[in-house]
Amino acid sequence: MWIGFGEDAHRLEPGRKLLLGGVEVAADRGPVAHSDGDALLHAVADAVLSAVGAGDIGEVFPDTDPRWAGLSGAELLERVLELAGAHPLRCERPRCGRVRQVRAVVTLDRPKLAPYREAMRRRVAELCGLEPADVSVAFKTSEGLAPDHVQARALVVLEEA
C-alpha cells in the first residue's frame, strides 16, 4: 500500500470558468492557469505521483509547454494514472496499482461548494475507477485570509493490483 499527498492552488480572476473535480461551478471568478486550472483534480493527480515517488504535475506537464495549454483536469489525471501504472482500465507496466481511496479538501471562500459535492465525488471516482463512497471531498473557507484563491489538498491510497 502506498499513500500520496498532493496540493494545488490558483489565483482567481473574473471571467474565468471555475472547474473543481471536473464539475463546473457557477461563479463570477475562476482560476488563472495554463490548463483548465481544476485545483481538485490537480491535487489528486499530484497525490498519485507522490504515492509512486514520481515528482509532480509541474514536472510532467510544464506550463512552458504549449501542448498543455488548456489541458483538462480529467485528461491530466488520466495521463498521470497511466504514468503511475494506476489507470483503472489501462496498465502496460509489469507492476500495476489501483487507487483505493481519495480524501480531498478544497479551500474557497465563495461560492458554497456543498451543492456540488456529490457530482465531484462521482466524477473523481469515475476517473480513478472507484465507487463514490471511496472518495470524500470536504470544503473550507479561508475565513477571509485568502479570498482570491482556490486551493485543494488530497490524499490517495494506492494498492498493488
CA 126-130-133 angle, to 5 degrees, is 105
Q: Does residue number 148 form part of the binding site for ligand L45E5XJ5 (CB under 6 A)?
A: no
Q: Which residues participate in the annotated binding site?
A: 8-10, 34-35, 42, 56-58, 61-65
CA distance 44 to 120: 12
- Please state the closest distance from residue 70 (CB atom) to ligand L45E5XJ5, in A: 25
Considering CB distances under 5 to 8 angstroms, the limit depending on partner class, which of ligand CDI, ligand L45E5XJ5, none binds residue 108?
ligand L45E5XJ5
Q: How many helices (H) and strands (E) does the chain have?
A: 4, 7
Q: Per CB under 6 A, which region of 3-11, 94-102, 137-145, 152-160 contacts ligand L45E5XJ5?
A: 137-145
- Please state the closest distance from residue 73 (CB atom) to ligand CDI, in A: 8
Starting at the edge strand found earlier in the chain, the sheet holding 29-31 runs 29-31, 2-14, 149-160, 97-107, 135-140
- DSSP one-letter code for 32: -
Helices 39-51, 117-128: crossing angle, 10 deg rounding? 40
Q: Does residue number 136 form part of the binding site for ligand L45E5XJ5 (CB under 6 A)?
A: no
Q: Which is nearer to ligand CDI, 23 or 98 (CB)?
A: 23
Residues 106-135 that bind ligand L45E5XJ5 (CB under 6 A): 108, 112-114
CA distance 79 to 84: 9
Considering CB distances under 5 to 8 angstroms, the limit depending on partner class, which of ligand CDI, ligand L45E5XJ5, none binds residue 101?
none
Task: Specify the pairing of strand 23-25 against strand 29-31.
Answer: unpaired
Q: Which is nearer to ligand L45E5XJ5, 45 or 137 (CB)?
A: 137
Catalog residues that contact ligand L45E5XJ5 under the rule CB under 6 A: 108, 112-114, 139-141
